[in-house]
Amino acid sequence: MSKLGDLGAKLYRGEVGYDFVGKRFLWYGVSILITITAIVALAVQGLNMGIEFKGGAVFTTPKTTASVAKVTEDAEKASGHDAIVQELGTGGMRIQISGLDTDAAADVKKQLAADLKVTEADINADLVGPSWGEQIANKAWTGLGVFMVLVVIYLAIAFEWRMAVAALIALIHDLTITVGVYALVGFEVTPGTVIGLLTILGYSLYDTVVVFDGLKEGSKDITKQTRYTFSEIANRSINGTLVRSINTTVVALLPVAALLFIGGGFLGAGMLNDISLSLFVGLAAGAYSSIFIATPLVVDLKEREPAMKALKKRVLAKRASAAARGESPDDAQGSEDEPQVVSQGRQPGRRR
């Protein structure tokens, strides 16, 4: 782990630096590819909507010796509908029957109890009308909309509109990837998934905001110097917060992974699993987008500004004249394929 520590020091001193901004079109390409895949998957495969969206019942039985096949047969016979049966880590069964209304479910429950030789009270029943999941989803959309508007306003005030726009795009990007993964892999979409997805909102932006905060600080007096262009400063900001980003993401993913693999593994499918799965995918996407998408987007937007254009001109002119004089620019930006060689200190903007 001290390697990461060393990396931190090196990143800090600028001994190493990854040219995220210079290679941004590569990452844009990657993201567009992922997004297209997600959309295609969504269009072709669709989402595997859980019972909450279709209406039906989920029964959870206590430990039983009956086989999955037997239980499936029983459940289908009792309900007259298709049943999906999963064995749980506890030895019990999770039986999903779609298209069951709440009244019919009571009979099925009774029948199942008789078939499995358990008391009715031991069977856990979750009955949902078809509109339930839809409502959660609708509310989630409303929440998403409201949140996006508020957060864009907030970011526009706290930072600037370009960052707000970039953060929003990165957020949509994360959500698309997460939904795409669900479509692609065919994970079931439940209200738990929706909850997880909504949490990504906050978390994805959390990461982005931390990086932006560094960028804001780094580019404070940017026009008062001629050493760096905006994109170079942005790149240094990303590098400067890279270790934090990695640490934060690892620390956030650890509990979620525990929830996903231990909590989920112990109980089989269930709300714990649904929430943690979408969180896991979304958190990873969020960490990726804050580094590879959000900040480069800010650069793209920012470099259109006349002031930034002028700055770039000045910086390049200065470098050219330095090169003409035969000096080696101490902080020249190398070719974009090489790690950047930059001088020490993290706030180049403040130096001049």
Of the candidate spans 26-34, 72-80, 256-264, 298-306, the one that interacts with another protein by CB under 8 A turns out to be: 256-264
Residue closest to 349 by CA, chosen among 202, 191, 220: 220
Of the candidate spans 17-25, 33-41, 78-86, 258-266, the one that interacts with another protein by CB under 8 A turns out to be: 258-266
* Burial class of residue 352, CB neighbours in 10 A (0-12, 13-18, 19+): exposed
For residues 124 and 46, what is the distance between their CA atoms, to the nearest angstrom? 30
Per-residue binding string, another protein, 107-146, x by CB under 8 A, is: --------------xxxxxxxxx-xx--xx--xx-xx--x
For residues 125 and 262, what is the distance between their CA atoms, to the nearest angstrom? 24
**Beta carbon nearer to another protein, 36 or 258:** 258
For residues 158 and 222, what is the distance between their CA atoms, to the nearest angstrom? 18
Q: Which two tokens stand for residue 116?
A: 């499995």
Percent of the chain that is helix, strand, coil (3-state, to 5): 70, 5, 25
Closest approach of another protein to the CB of residue 241, in Å: 8
Residue closest to 146 by CA, chosen among 211, 198, 191: 198
For residues 132 and 138, what is the distance between their CA atoms, to the nearest angstrom? 10
**Beta carbon nearer to another protein, 41 or 128:** 128
**Beta carbon nearer to another protein, 125 or 341:** 125
Binding residue count for another protein, defined by CB under 8 A: 93
The DSSP string of 276-290 is HHHHHHHHHHHHHHI
Contacts with another protein in 157-176 (CB under 8 A)?
157-158
Closest approach of another protein to the CB of residue 123, in Å: 8
The single residue among 248, 289, 295, 333 that binds another protein, judged by CB under 8 A, is 248
**Beta carbon nearer to another protein, 11 or 315:** 11
Q: Tell me 269's DSSP state.
A: S
Does residue 344 touch another protein according to CB under 8 A?
Answer: yes
Contacts with another protein in 276-305 (CB under 8 A)?
276, 279
The single residue among 4, 39, 156, 332 that binds another protein, judged by CB under 8 A, is 4
Q: How many CA atoms lie within 13 A of 294 on its CB side?
A: 32
For residues 168 and 285, what is the distance between their CA atoms, to the nearest angstrom? 14
Contacts with another protein in 194-213 (CB under 8 A)?
194-195, 198-199, 201-203, 205-207, 209-210, 213
Task: Calculate helix-pair angle for 230-240, 306-324, nearest 10 degrees.
Answer: 90
Mapped onto helix, strand or coil, the DSSP state of residue 75 is helix
Per-residue binding string, another protein, 304-343, x by CB under 8 A, is: ----------------------------------------
**Beta carbon nearer to another protein, 161 or 266:** 266
Contacts with another protein in 36-75 (CB under 8 A)?
52, 60, 62
